Amino acid sequence: MQRTTQLGISRRGLVAGVAAVAVAGAGAAVVLRRKPPPVRPAGVPLSPFDATTTAEQVTDGLDLSGRTYLITGVTSGIGREAMRVLALRGAHVIGTGRTLDKAAAACASVTGRTTPLALELTDFPSVVAASDAVRALGVPLDGLVCNAGVMALPQHEQVYGLEKQFVTNHLGHFLLVNRLVDLVRAAPQGRVVVVSSSALKWADPAGIEWDNLSGERDYDPSRAYGQSKLANNLFSLELARRLADSTATSNCLNPGAVLTELQRHAPGWAVTLGRWIGPAFMKMPAEGANTSCYLAAHPLVATVSGRYFQDCNPIAIGGNSEDPAMAAKLWDVSTELVRAWL
């Protein structure tokens, strides 16, 4: 039964709103309180870039002519900015949107060579069709950026009997990558980049809730979102292990608190509040896309794989997100869930 506050906001809506504002205000926490320095993994090069560096600055001087990238979710936010910048540097970018019209409009808004592609991550036949269209181009993929996603859906929704955020943020990308990974391997130094989030800490403390992938038990918007982001990290970790016999790599990243449409599913009051306080504390897409572009194209990370990045630098966050046994189990479970479409 839904409970409402004295303001007439449902308890579930309040939770979703607070979750969205928490992400929107994450930048404020950095400003208002001193945080301990991040733990850096040994042997991984550090870059000269930071949270204030733009994606254009990260790629300054790079010539990506002859390279092909696939980026999911280019219709807004950091996905569109990553497409714009990589195309600006000479790459051919295949940009996906939930409909071909939306993808085409986004591609037409940037300078350079782009190809629009329809991709609905919650519709596995759509994922199959999109991957077939990419294969039909007959070129290797120098980078596949898993960027599209949804956040903190206020109501419990299911696709294929599974919680929708898990399907959108993880399983759809898992299927897409597995259908195209040979094209990544075929590139001189192919890269898979998975956009995760610091919200992975919202997942259940025990990790992936294997017995509740449907989300039916005690649905919580932020916990479900956190689980999908934890799954992003674990997927990238296991993929890196499986790519170790090649020149291809897989890394994941936290873009930080970025002012985008990702919080659109929060209650209206939370969206308004986020837009009001956001510009003071949050990144704009120009900065938010910096790590995606860094991992996709910069030579400093050509041989780095299986790592988690924030602000263009590696971080060892430990916990479930670096658990190889959990990563391997997620791979096996995910394979079974999408086997009919592989």
Tell me which residues are annotated as active site: 219
| Location of structure tokens 């918007």 | 221
The residues with which 158 forms a beta bridge, in sequence order, are 163
| DSSP letter for each residue of 125-156 | HHHHHHHHHHHHT----SEEEE-------SS-
| Location of structure tokens 């280019």 | 74
* Residue in 178, 183, 289, 172 with CA at minimum distance from that of residue 231: 172
Strands (E) in 206-271, as ranges, are 249-254
| Crossing angle for the helix pair 221-242 and 324-338, to the nearest 10 degrees | 100
* Residue in 120, 84, 90, 88 with CA at minimum distance from that of residue 102: 120
Distance between CA 13 and CA 248 in Å, rounded? 42
Distance between CA 194 and CA 221 in Å, rounded? 21
Cα torsion for 317, 241, 310, 32, to the nearest 10°? Answer: -20
